[in-house]
Structure 1
Amino acid sequence: MIPPATPSPSAPKPSRQRQIGGLEFILLMGLLQALQALAVDSMLPALGTMAVDLGARDPNQRQLVVGIFLICSGLGCLLPGTLADRYGRRPVLITCLTSYILCSTACALVTNFDQLLVLRAILGVACAGLMVLPAAIIRDRHEGDAMARLQSTVGIVFMVVPMIAPSVGQAVLLVASWRWIFGVMALLGSLILFWMATRLPETLRPEFKQPIAPRKLAMTMGAIITTRSAAGYVLGMALIQGAMFGYINSSQQLVAEHFGAGARFPLIFAGMAACMACSNFTNSRIVEKFGARRVSHTALLIYIGTSALQFYIASQPNETLWEFVPMMTVNMCLLGFLGSNFTSIALQPFARSAGAAASAQSFIRMVLASCLGSMVGQAFDGTARPLAFALMVAGLGCLVLVLFSEKGRLFRRLLPPGTPRPIA
């Protein structure tokens, strides 16, 4: 049952022509964010076919369809939030959705691989807005516990798409050309654009509009890098996420081709994503009891151990699919205990500028992770060894960075402000 919404006192009064709330609002916000996941995961079963059809020379070149998209999504993170604070949420969101539709349609009509990569880069920038703006819209309408509750519910809707997107791509390939995957993306984008344009009002109050201030944003980014308690978590999560992007980039070659999963690849990918969704749900249930640091530090140590074991198995001859899949699934599940907790910890020093800090941290993390992910993917040599090595090194590097932020101490649980400390 969806809890009743608690509107923010600063939220604008909804238009009589366009009232939206409850389940409809949750579904719309979740599906807006999910369009980015669809643009990545639905491609995976078709990467080999589209690379051959468009004349890609290097077998690893197919990964750039995903890698360039992710890099440009990261680079675009700073733009939509800043523009939406100045011009409003609806105009920027409509622009991003329109760009998504046009770029998807153009991708279906390309005649060579270079054209596809250019369009995927533009599509990545457009998708940055679809990830950033729903969170801003939720903040405009709700605050406090109501906002956190709504964000969690929207996240559940969002997590469904990575489970089914590869199967959507595989289903299209059974009846049509890979070009129709982009056609499906354009169609879904059009439906969501119509839904959003007719039902979602502007949520930013006119008096809250802010001028575009690049200098202030640059100062926030500088503060993030120089604030010790945050920097290690931002950069450490970039390493972990980068290794995981390396898996996404090379998953079709690795699972479908090297391990011979073939048509079972979408189902295997969906199963891994479902396990990761379960770990996110579990984290939400235990983190208040044990604390974000204790949960995430424990998960990080287990991640390092699992990655080391995965590297050992990958280094042996004739690794099988059913040796790889359980280990990779465990690592993906552990990511569910790292991402949200690391983000929460990294934002703690920026209570007075949480919005700008969140955007800047997302930019830093996403750009570094997507670049690292492309490097890991391009290192694919027909085995799981490069990926396993990257996972292990990312875990160890993350541990060093976390220890830097925590001044060498793990598992601390910070006391709430004003709580008297026990006397030794």
Structure 2
Amino acid sequence: MMAAIFGLQAMGIDVMLPALEIIGDHYNLQNENDQQLIIFAFILGFGFPQLVFGPISDRFGRKILLQLSLVGYFITGFACMVAPSFGSLLALRLLQGICCAGTRVSAGAIIRDLSKGRSMASILSLVYTVFMIVPIIAPAIGTAIMAVADWRWVFGMLGVFSGLVFIWTQFRLPSTLRVEDRRPFSAEKIIGGFKQVLTHRITIGYMLASGLIFGCLFAFIGASEQVFDEVFGRGEKFYLYFAGIAGLLAVMNYSNSRFVGRFGMRRISHVVVFTFIFLSLINLAYMQFFGQNFWVFYILFVLTFGCFGMMGANFSSLALEYMGDIAGTANAIYGFVTMTLSSFLGFLVARSFDGTIRPLLIAYVLLGVSSLIVILITEKGKLFGVGQGKE
């Protein structure tokens, strides 16, 4: 159930990737990079509202926020089908992102209500494993929809999916926040909760590290269709190549759920950050000196992308480990900071697309190194769990 709720975010982005060029042609966009705004409007809406939804979930509970957000997601999904202009479509996508933020805050808080530490990392990894199935199948679903119906139904499908999730949660989701644990919805409590999160060194450190390195993920999502179509001329099989990337990501998430209990969140994630930087450097060097060979790029890129599967759950669990009493607020701030930072960086990188993959690979190296520097500062120079007890 949590994976399905998390999947609303991935579905809201990935199902329409094959349709971006068609949508751009429909609205007569002059700059082909403007079609990326369909993705980034949703991501923008997903960011800031989490700061509001977090304290609301701590006060009124997770389920009511979740269900109201699902209703909004449902309505905006079908409204996008009849958007009369590109501007109105972007406005509706922004609203849909806001509604999706409510579902994400609720789901993250539910998981934190029931687990912490390595246990939370293991559960999140399993959720992300199922969640990663969505990017594998979503572009294929979008392609299949357009084969039998108008492109507008890629948005209609989002409404259908959110309606099914609403029915499921209505009948099967219990309350995970006890009445006596609910926090008053007051300025003093909200500010106090924000201060508690933003002044904790481990929490803020892994929050920033995650936001930096996951900017690489959003950069690729924004420019992925152009990379496969314009750089390598393989746009007709885009969904298959995208599925291969997401497939390894799912495998790595599952692997993390199996290994994190034994090796710990720090040891795994720190090793993987170094691996991410190394693979990105090798890919960049090859493309720079030997040319843009598709299979060399793709194999190295798939391996690089797989690293995200062993960073996301671990970074999140490390950041939220000490925030159990304000899980909703902490999860909201974490989601806002990481999503806003990563989407902004991803937007800048994707917009720099110049017909080659060089800007993308340069960004991967720079953002990977930046994330590592933040981790070094956060851990006071002690990586791989050194000086952190069992972690």
Q: TM-score, normalised by structure 1?
A: 0.84
| Paired residues of 2:215 and 2:344 also in contact (CA < 8 A) | yes
| Residues 184-231 of structure 1: per-residue CA shift (max 9 Å, x gap) | 111222222233334445454444433223444444444544443443
Could you tell me which of 77, 80, 90 is aligned with 1:107?
A: 80
| Residues 287-310 of structure 1: per-residue CA shift (max 9 Å, x gap) | 333332222221111211111122
| Residues 128-162 of structure 1: per-residue CA shift (max 9 Å, x gap) | 1222212334555x456987765554433322211
Could you tell me which of 74, 78, 89 is aligned with 1:116?
A: 89
Distance of aligned partners of 1:335 and 1:138 in 2 relative to their CA distance in 1, 3 Å threshold: closer
Distance of aligned partners of 1:302 and 1:266 in 2 relative to their CA distance in 1, 3 Å threshold: same
Distance in 2 (alpha carbons) for counterparts of 1:195 and 1:407? 45
Distance of aligned partners of 1:139 and 1:219 in 2 relative to their CA distance in 1, 3 Å threshold: closer
Distance in 1 (alpha carbons) for counterparts of 2:168 and 2:286? 49
Distance of aligned partners of 1:257 and 1:219 in 2 relative to their CA distance in 1, 3 Å threshold: farther
| Paired residues of 1:242 and 1:370 also in contact (CA < 8 A) | yes
> Does 1:70 find its partner at 2:43?
yes
| Paired residues of 2:267 and 2:384 also in contact (CA < 8 A) | yes
| Paired residues of 2:253 and 2:310 also in contact (CA < 8 A) | yes
| Paired residues of 1:217 and 1:360 also in contact (CA < 8 A) | no
Task: State the match for 1:286 in structure 2.
Answer: 259
Distance of aligned partners of 1:210 and 1:346 in 2 relative to their CA distance in 1, 3 Å threshold: closer
SS of equivalent residue, structure 1 residue 408: coil
Shift of 1:329: 0.9
Task: State the match for 2:351 in structure 1.
Answer: 378
Distance in 2 (alpha carbons) for counterparts of 1:411 and 1:139? 24
Could you tell me which of 172, 176, 196 is aligned with 2:169?
A: 196
Distance of aligned partners of 1:152 and 1:293 in 2 relative to their CA distance in 1, 3 Å threshold: closer
| Residues 254-279 of structure 1: per-residue CA shift (max 9 Å, x gap) | 11332112221111111111101111
SS of equivalent residue, structure 2 residue 132: helix
Could you tell me which of 329, 347, 355 is aligned with 2:320?
A: 347
Task: State the match for 1:298 in structure 2.
Answer: 271
| Paired residues of 2:112 and 2:327 also in contact (CA < 8 A) | no
> Does 1:330 find its partner at 2:299?
no
Where in structure 2 are the equivalents of 1:13-52 lying within 5 Å? 28-52=1-25
Length, aligned pairs only: 390
Shift of 1:36: 1.6
Mark the runs of 5 or more structure 1 residues left unpaired by the alignment: 1-27, 420-424
SS of equivalent residue, structure 2 residue 84: coil
Shift of 1:407: 1.9
| Paired residues of 1:54 and 1:111 also in contact (CA < 8 A) | no
Distance of aligned partners of 1:311 and 1:165 in 2 relative to their CA distance in 1, 3 Å threshold: same
Mark the runs of 5 or more structure 2 residues left unpaired by the alignment: none
| Residues 341-387 of structure 1: per-residue CA shift (max 9 Å, x gap) | 22233334546545533332222111111111111111111111111
Percent of aligned pairs with the same residue?
Answer: 37
Distance of aligned partners of 1:371 and 1:122 in 2 relative to their CA distance in 1, 3 Å threshold: same
> Does 1:367 find its partner at 2:336?
no
Where in structure 2 are the equivalents of 1:187-336 lying within 5 Å? 187-316=160-289, 318-336=291-309
CA RMSD between the two structures: 2.5
Could you tell me which of 370, 374, 381 is aligned with 1:401?
A: 374
Q: As a proportion of its length, which structure holds more helix? A: 2
| Paired residues of 1:291 and 1:413 also in contact (CA < 8 A) | no
Q: TM-score, normalised by structure 2?
A: 0.91
Distance of aligned partners of 1:216 and 1:360 in 2 relative to their CA distance in 1, 3 Å threshold: farther
| Paired residues of 1:314 and 1:388 also in contact (CA < 8 A) | no
Q: Which amino acid aligns with 2:339?
A: M
Distance in 1 (alpha carbons) for counterparts of 2:230 and 2:190? 44
Distance in 2 (alpha carbons) for counterparts of 1:415 and 1:275? 30
SS of equivalent residue, structure 1 residue 127: helix
Distance in 2 (alpha carbons) for counterparts of 1:249 and 1:217? 34
| Paired residues of 1:246 and 1:372 also in contact (CA < 8 A) | yes
| Paired residues of 1:261 and 1:321 also in contact (CA < 8 A) | no
